[in-house]
Every structure is written in structure tokens, then in C-alpha cells.
Amino acid sequence: MKFLVTGSAGFIGFHLSRSLLEAGHAVAGIDAMVPYYDVGLKQARHAQLSRHAGFTPHLFDLADPGRLAEVMAAEAPEVVIHLAAQAGVRYALEHPESYIHANIQGTFSLLEACKARPVRHLLMASTSSAYGANASMPFRETDAVATPLNIYAATKLATEQMGHSYAALWQQPVTMFRFFTVYGPWGRPDMAMFRFTDAILQGRPIDVYNHGRMERDFTYVDDLVAAVIRLVDCVPEAGRRVAECDSVSPVAPFRVVNIGNASPVPLLELIAAIETACGREATRNYLPLQPGEVLKTWADTALLRALTGQVPATDIRTGTAAFVAWFRQHYGL
Ligand SMILES: NC(=O)c1ccc[n+]([C@@H]2O[C@H](COP(=O)([O-])OP(=O)(O)OC[C@H]3O[C@@H](n4cnc5c(N)ncnc54)[C@H](O)[C@@H]3O)[C@@H](O)[C@H]2O)c1
């Protein structure tokens, strides 16, 4: 099958593209190599993908509708998986405009491109941050989401609503993933696991926000990619619920699906797992809660199980050991 993957030089886009290529699919990857974090890491990921004959990279900004139309026409993908975005909660405090550009303008361009050339299934990344200040746990796809706590969450919620409107108007099937804190080899340098590992191995103190009183539902990247690939064949149909918990729209071929581990991990337990994998103890710098952060995330994965028969299950110690092993090897530390 022919896939178009946006954000193919990103952490998740790289893993997803590699899995698709290894399964014998063709992948056209779009990435603007945005310098939000080390572009060298993005180039190294694309270099790995380029070993496969089925991979075609396209380096441009998605918000350029002309280039996107050309690529859609040339590649004629059957399935589009949209992962390109400005991610990160902390960066959103200082650079809110980059979220409007990548997430709103970029997603709008992509929706217009799929309107001009419809695909069998358009799947797009949203986030657990969409649940914002929701206090009822675990988070269910059918919960009301109206309390985003930062501009990242607000733009991702907007992309969910844009996706619904295009699905309703143009009958383009759309699945939105709400990813829960994804980690693993080739991970993002701005995320806690990477920053903590780097600091511990180089003898620097780590910043522990809210004095460690936070929990995240950590999802190992291989589990997440397997779930994404299974969902490609779960094309939503308006009003056709597969289970009581289904979020499918009554009026559009549109569905939201959580992809998480369904087991929140306290921040201090994450640090302990990294310390064990590194064989060293961290020096901790305890700090107050950062503005825009949520205290806890926890995915209900009943819908993912109903749709695909499987859910992520890698435990934090196993996944952290795999990340630290990659990190040490990649950076020679
Ligand atoms: N990693 C997580 O824990 C997590 C959690 C929830 C949601 N998500 C979502 O999953 C998706 C992938 O995340 P990731 O962790 O791989 O992030 P990432 O930053 O590693 O990858 C995103 C890629 O998109 C590219 N990009 C950004 N703006 C672009 C534009 N305008 N045009 C073309 N390319 C552009 C970047 O260069 C980058 O390589 C994102 O949509 C993110 O919001 C990730």
C-alpha cells in the first residue's frame, strides 16, 4: 500500500515509517526539518529510512499548499498519516505562534489536499493534552473536552474539530489519535526521559517539577506504532459504533481513539527507572509546577481494544532500559 506520512523525520513518524517500510509498504515522507530540536537527529532518522527503496522524502513546510498539492498528485497515497506538528507544552509558553503555523495552518493545508484528492483513510495525531483540566480518570474519548490548559492543547483540539468538519462535509474518513506520552529509542530531546538520561549520564542535576507529584501514562513507541498500523484498517463510518464506548460521530466518518498504556507512572518512579538503567543516581532540583502542565494523564483504552483486539503493554522499566541503551550507543555516553 502507498502511505503518505507527515513528520517522517520526527520521533513517531520515523518509527511508523520504518515499520511500514519493513512490512513492504511504500512511504512518501514529508518533513520541514523544523529546528525546534537537533536537526541532526532528524536527518539521522531520515538517513535510516532512506536505506529502504520504498521511501521517498519530501522536505518542505506543510503550510505551503502548492507543494503539498504537487506531492499528493505525484505520490497518489491511499492512506495519509499526519504526525507533523509543533509539539511540546513548555515551548508553547514562549512561542505560541509556531503552534498556530504548524498545527492549524499545516493541518488545514493537509485537509484541503485530501479534499482535492480524497484518500481511503486520513489518520491524524492529537494528544492526551486535549483532556486539559478534566478530572475524571481514566480519560475516555467520549468525555467532553473543553478545558485546554495551553496553546498546544488548544491547537490540537482545533485540529480534531477541523477533522470532524471535513469528514462531515466531504465524507473523508478521519481517525484522530490521542497519544499519551510516547517514549523509546530515537526519542525527542525536549522530553523528560531524554533530558533526565542526558543529565544523569553527564553528572548534571535534573529539574523535577511540582516536587515530583505528577503522573504520566507512558506509552512505548513500538506499542504505539503497532496500534496506529492496526487502526489504518478501522475506517470509521458515521453512526456505526463498534462498542458502547465508541466515540464515532453520528454524522461523519470520524472517530477519536486514545493510544496509551492505561497505567499512570509517578514521575519519581520514572526517575528511578532511568537511574537503574543508567546505573547512576540523579541529583534532583525540586521545582514548583510549570504553568500549563497537567498533574496526571491516564488513558482508557477500551475503544482501542474493541477496534484492534490489542493495547500497549510494555512496562516503564523495560521501555526505559531500551531507551537508555539506544541513548548510550547513539551518543557514545
Ligand atoms: N511524542 C509524544 O509523546 C506525543 C504525545 C502526544 C501527541 N504527539 C503528537 O504526535 C505527533 C508526532 O510527535 P513526535 O513526538 O514525533 O514529534 P516530533 O517533533 O519529533 O515530530 C514532528 C515532526 O514534524 C515536523 N514538522 C513540524 N512542523 C512542520 C511543518 N509545518 N511542515 C512539515 N513538517 C513539520 C518536524 O520537523 C518534526 O520532524 C505530533 O503531532 C505530536 O503533537 C506526540
Active site residue 99: no
Q: What are the pLDDT digits (tens) for 128-170? A: 999 999 999 999 999 999 999 999 999 999 999 999 999 999 9
Which residues 6+ apart lie within 8 Å of 243 measured at CB?
302, 303, 306
Q: Which of 129, 177, 182, 258 to mutate to test the pocket of ligand 1 (most atoms within 8 A of CB)?
A: 182
Nearest CA to ligand 1 atom 9: 125
Task: Please tell me which residue, 291 or 38, carries the higher pLDDT value.
Answer: 38
- So where are the chain's domains? 2-180+221-260+299-312
Query: Which amino acid, residue 59?
Result: L
The answer to whether residues 241 and 159 touch, using CB atoms and an 8 Å cutoff, is no
DSSP 252: S
Catalytic option among 36, 131, 152, 166? 152
User: What's residue 206's pLDDT?
Assistant: 98
The answer to whether residues 179 and 160 touch, using CB atoms and an 8 Å cutoff, is no
7 CA → ligand 1 middle, Å = 6
33 CA → ligand 1 middle, Å = 10
244 CA → ligand 1 middle, Å = 31
Residues with CB under 6 A from ligand 1: 7, 9-13, 30-34, 42, 61-63, 83-87, 102, 106, 125, 127, 179, 181-182, 188
Is the pLDDT assigned to residue 228 strictly greater than 90? yes
Q: What are the pLDDT digits (tens) for 209-225? A: 999 999 999 999 999 99
Pick the atom of ligand 1 nearest to 128's CA: 6
Return the bridge partners of 207, or none: 285
Q: Give me the half-sphere count of Cα atoms (radius 13 Å) on the Cβ side of residue 51.
A: 9
User: What's residue 89's pLDDT?
Assistant: 85
Average pLDDT (40-54) is 98
CATH number of 2-180+221-260+299-312: 3.40.50.720
Q: Give me the half-sphere count of Cα atoms (radius 13 Å) on the Cβ side of residue 229.
A: 20
Distance, in Å, from the CA atom of 2 to the CA atom of 173, rounded to the nearest integer, reads 17
Burial class of residue 202 in the structure, from the number of CB atoms within 10 Å of its CB (0-12 exposed, 13-18 middle, 19+ buried): exposed
User: What's residue 90's pLDDT?
Assistant: 84
Nearest CA to ligand 1 atom 21: 10
Q: What are the pLDDT digits (tens) for 81-138? A: 999 999 998 899 899 999 999 999 999 999 999 999 999 999 999 999 999 999 999 9
Q: Which of 243, 227, 247 is nearest to 306 (CA)?
A: 243
Average pLDDT (284-297) is 93
pTM: 0.98
Q: Is 325 helix (H, G, I), strand (E, B) or coil?
A: helix
Distance, in Å, from the CA atom of 310 to the CA atom of 181, rounded to the nearest integer, reads 18
13 CA → ligand 1 middle, Å = 8
Nearest CA to ligand 1 atom 11: 83
Q: Which of 28, 114, 21, 29 is nearest to 65 (CA)?
A: 114
Average pLDDT (60-74) is 96
Pick the atom of ligand 1 nearest to 101's CA: 31
Pick the atom of ligand 1 nearest to 88's CA: 43
The answer to whether residues 76 and 117 touch, using CB atoms and an 8 Å cutoff, is yes
Is the bond preceding residue 138 a cis peptide, omega within 30 degrees?
Answer: yes
Return the bridge partners of 127, or none: 179
